[in-house]
Amino acid sequence: MSQAPEALRTEVRAWLQNNIPRDWRAAMTGTDQDAFVRAQREWFGKLVKAGYATPHWPEGWPGGGRSLAEQKIIYEEVARADAPRLILFFVALYHAACTLIEWGTDEQKRAHLPGILDGKLWCQGFSEPNAGSDLAAVRTRAELRGDRYVINGQKIWSTLAQHADYCLLLVRTDTAGPPQAGLTYLLLDMRSKGVSVRPIAQITGDDEFSEIFLDDVEVPVSDRVGGEGQGWAVAQSTLASERGLTLVELSHRMRYALNRITGLMRARGVAGDAALRRDLGRLAPKVDAACALADQYLLKRIENTEAPGDASIVKLHYARTLRDFTALGLRIAGLQGQYREPFIRGGGMETGNWPFDFMNSYNWTIAGGSDEIQRNIIAERMLGMPREPKDWRL
């Protein structure tokens, strides 16, 4: 499936030009989730058919076998074309597929990978109300009874779980010993008895996250990924599955979105305001730096020279820059920006609905390891500063 980079770029660019749903932003403005899901499914179908949904899958699968460099080109072009993000399918295409490819039995792969291409939806069941950034604190309990695990507990921050067919579920099978060692990784059919899902009303008005309640839910042992107690290691694979690519896409999207700020300045008649121009002139190189960091990080992954902490720097810088970006838009928007307007579902991080975008940016400073966690990692793993002693408690 290897191809000259520029040829691939040209091909993807042309395809996107012809296939991006016309006026998708307008269509997704103020829409409900069902319409959004339909639109995502349609877009997904096109991408799968073109082979652009699965460049990261192994050779042999449709579209698969692309190098990271090629995947990067696809993402850059998707960003450049301002195509819809495929967020509904993200967990299925990356988290689920990569985990299955790396850890799944042949049977599990056969059972699930083709389904993903057919549009089966997955969600992630890692976070819990009392274990935000700390997976070792997972408390959802799974007891082995015969050939099934019986599960009780609660998961939270599961993206679009209300639409999912399956869930990547991290559970505790052992409470003795080191906390990481007691985790086990299961594939949960969301139609199972005892599963209930409650979308979380977010401060942005969106409801893309859900809580999952698990009440005596049964999962066959055959749906376990890896061995009992191996959940921590399997979960690391899940989390690593898209390392770098998402931030290439998002940072490049942010660069293109600088024209939303300049457009806003013009529309508000403040394009000549020296103070705002200075703010913009400070922001733009920061955005460029976010792109550069993401690109170089991916290069390190390609060259296998990634060092501990590298990923934290990319994420931290992106998150802070996105905050600055949306905060600047919010302040330029003035009183007009304070009036509530319908948001664009799945419209990305810079939709031009500035209060929405500003609040939405907290997803990047909080979720997936908060800024504070990233700072700990950078200080300890890159700068070699000591960790607090383990036994340091009140």
Partner 1 sequence: MNAELSELRDSARQVLAAEGLAAPEDKTWPLALDLGWLLVAVPEAQGGLGQGLAGACAFHAEMGRSLCAAPYLPAMLAMEAAIHAGREDWIERLGASGFVTAPLVDPTLTITDGGIVAGMASAVPSADRASHVLLGSEAGDCVALVALQQAGIDARHRETWDTTRRLFDLRFDNVAGDPSLVLARGNDAHVLSRRLATHRDFALAADAVGGAATALEMTVEYLKTRRQFGRPLALFQALKHRCADLKARIAAAEALLADSLVRVGTEVDSERAEALGKAAKSFAVSAYAAVAEEMLQLHGGIGMTAEHACHLFLKRALLDEQLGRCTSYELDVADTLLGAG
- Residue from 130, 196, 222, 236 that binds partner 1 (CB under 8 A)? 130
Cα–Cα distances in angstroms (integers) from residue 372 to residues 97, 220, 316, 368, 375, in the given order: 30, 38, 9, 11, 5
Q: Judged by CB, which is closer to partner 1: 100, or 239?
A: 239
Residues 371-390 that bind a second copy (CB under 8 A): 386, 388-389
Contacts of 308 (CB under 8 A, 6+ apart): 377, 381, 382
Q: What angle do CA 384, 387, 389 make, to 5 degrees?
A: 150
The DSSP letter of residue 204 is T
Size of the site for partner 1 (CB under 8 A): 76
Asked if residue 370 binds partner 1 (CB under 8 A), the reply is yes
Site for a second copy in 272-301 (CB under 8 A): 273-275, 277-278
Q: How far does CA 281 lie from the centroid of its chain?
A: 29
User: Which of 28, 93, 142, 156 forms a contact with partner 1 (CB under 8 A)?
Assistant: 156
Residue 380 annotated among the catalytic residues of the structure = no
Cβ atoms 247, 318 nearer than 8 A: yes
CB 326 to a second copy: min, Å:
20
Position 87 contacts partner 1 (CB under 8 A): no
Q: What 3-state DSSP class applies to 141?
A: strand
Please report the sign of the dihedral spanned by the C-alpha atoms of residue 352, residue 353, residue 355, residue 356.
negative
Whose Cβ is closer to partner 1: residue 99's or residue 353's?
A: 353
* Interface pattern 215-254 for a second copy (x via CB under 8 A): ----------------------------------------
Q: Which of 99, 127, 140, 210 binds partner 1 (CB under 8 A)?
A: 127
Does residue number 132 form part of the binding site for partner 1 (CB under 8 A)? yes
Q: Which residues pair with 123 in a beta bridge?
A: 167
CB burial of residue 164 (10 Å; 0-12, 13-18, 19+): buried
The CB-of-287 to partner 1 minimum distance in angstroms stands at 10
Answer for the pair 317, 289: CB distance below 8 angstroms, yes or no.
yes
What's the min distance (Å) between Cβ of 18 and partner 1? 29
Identified binder of partner 1 from the candidate list 50, 68, 111, 271, rule CB under 8 A: 271
Main-chain dihedrals φ then ψ at residue 187, nearest 5 degrees? -105, 115
93 HSE (CA, 13 A, CB side): 25
- Minimal distance in Å, beta carbon 276 to a second copy? 9
Question: Applying CB under 8 A, which of residues 37, 68, 200, 240 lies at the interface with partner 1?
Answer: 200
> Of 58 and 281, which has the nearer Cβ to a second copy?
281
Residue count of the chain, please give it: 394
Question: Least Å distance between CB 329 and partner 1?
Answer: 12
Task: Give the binding range for partner 1 (CB under 8 A) out of 68-76, 96-104, 234-242, 268-276.
Answer: 268-276
Q: Report which DSSP code applies to 160.
A: T
- Tokens describing residue 243: 């390392």
Q: Per CB under 8 A, does 278 bind partner 1?
A: yes
Closest by alpha carbon to 286, among 334, 254, 260, 248? Answer: 254
> Which single residue is written with the structure tokens 């990923």?
311
Q: Measured between alpha carbons, how far is 380 from 388 in angstroms, rounded to an integer?
A: 10
**Quick one: 48 or 333, whose CB is closer to a second copy?**
333
Q: Tell me the per-residue interface mask from 182 to 221 with a second copy, x by CB under 8 A, - otherwise.
A: ----------------------------------------
Out of 74, 117, 250, 265, point to the residue binding partner 1 (CB under 8 A). 265
Q: Catalytic residues, which ones? A: 242
